[in-house]
Amino acid sequence: MKSKQIYLDSHASTPVDQDILSSMLPFFTEFYGNGNHKAGWKTTSAIENARFQVSNLIGAKPSEITFTSGATEAINMALLGLAKANKSEKNHIVTQNTEHKAVLQCINALKEQGYKITMLKVDKVGRIKIEELKKAVTNKTLVVAIMLANNEIGTTQPIEDIGNICKSKGAKFFCDITQGLGWFPLNMKTLNIDLAALTAHKFYGPKGIGTLYIKKTNPRIVIEPILFGGGQENGIRPGTSNVPAIVGLGKACELLQINAEEQFHRISNLRNRLQKQLFASIDGIKLNGCPVNRHPGNLNISIPSISGEKLKGLLSNVMFSTSSACSSSSSKPSHVLSAINDDETIIASSFRLGINKYNTNKEIDFVAQKIIQLAKINN
């Protein structure tokens, strides 16, 4: 165990499942055509099957699924494309200060175009206050952008309540469901979600493929393209389809739908096993995020006696993150941790452990023992 690499950074990316990889391989070397002929018909059929698999997982219609290069592109298409199509007098957007940087940067760009922004603050466990959202949404609000599960601290938001508020006030609801996909019951219609983004590499699929869900009924949501080229994906997202990745995404959704409940319990049990050992043995340890409404595999904690970066250096065979993987190139403190903490020591000592279906009890116990040992040495 000492020399083995233990991967606990599954909010950043997960390994590709072998069954998913196997489903992809023929589309690299055997079924590679994309024209109007037998070879192309095979790939077209595979794409449409994947579209069904994705839609079936999230309670949508296949026609409401647009394939993208990942969640970041889907977020940009949703927010910028919605604003581009907005011919009304709605010039207001509501979001929260712990959203993914892709959402926040899109909204900053729209602010420069004249949109008024309400930035909701979260409480100490990372949840918005529903009463504040009710007050923020007006008849001028174009869209509310609130994610399902936070990629750093794992806190989940009350998206059913959010959807109901948006529907009652005539605002669109955009939800980044990337981190919560599969762990929580999702039905785009019953949750009143109008637009949603997801990506495959968070649930054992390949990198570089994602989906934008665009509601087409009651009311039909219209966005304008932000990319131009061929007519693929109904002209909303032009470009040659990444067929192997699309097939992999579809298979990942199919497997997740079959195995979600079993995986939820197994992964959350591993997380609880790790948390119980650490919190029983380390003085001053703190949980970052919500202890109840949370991603099953997320454990974001701080140990005041040792910084997250120092711990990472001492645990060279354990892979984990001291900040969001998507913003790890920045030397600035995590905007998510800063939103729920005003103590710089806690922020500096924080780190995120992300558990996946391949982790074992033996790995969890080894990591717990090593962290406990290092915390006591550095106390």
Backbone angles phi, psi at 128, to 5 degrees: -75, 160
pLDDT in tens, 322-336: 864 455 455 678 999
Among this protein's residues, is 326 annotated catalytic?
yes
105 Cβ neighbours under 8 A, 6+ residues apart:
none
**Mean pLDDT of all residues in 241-269:** 96
Can you give the pLDDT at residue 325?
45
Can you give the pLDDT at residue 274?
98
pLDDT in tens, 179-204: 999 999 899 999 999 999 999 999 99
Average pLDDT, the chain: 93
pLDDT in tens, 46-99: 999 999 999 999 999 999 999 999 999 999 999 999 999 999 989 999 999 999
Can you give the pLDDT at residue 208?
97
Distance (Å, rounded) from C-alpha 255 to C-alpha 259?
A: 6
**Mean pLDDT of all residues in 127-142:** 98
Can you give the pLDDT at residue 150?
97
Can you give the pLDDT at residue 378?
81
Can you give the pLDDT at residue 85?
96
44-49-54 Cα angle (round to 5): 125
Note the pTM of the prediction, 2 decimals.
0.94
**Mean pLDDT of all residues in 294-307:** 94
Can you give the pLDDT at residue 343?
87
Can you give the pLDDT at residue 36?
65
**pLDDT for 107 beyond 50:** yes
Interior/surface letters 264-302, b for 16+ CB within 10 angstroms, e for the rest: bebbbebbeebbebbeeebeebbbbbbeebbbbbbbbbb
Report the share of the chain in percent with pLDDT over 90. Answer: 81
Can you give the pLDDT at residue 324?
42
Q: What letter does residue 59 receive in the DSSP assignment?
A: T
Predicted confidence band of residue 254 (pLDDT cuts 50, 70, 90): very high
Distance (Å, rounded) from C-alpha 144 to C-alpha 124?
A: 21
Report the share of the chain in percent with pLDDT over 70. Answer: 96
Can you give the pLDDT at residue 283?
94
pLDDT in tens, 1-55: 556 899 999 999 999 999 999 999 999 998 887 766 677 778 999 999 999 999 9
Do 266 and 322 touch, CB atoms closer than 8 A?
Answer: no
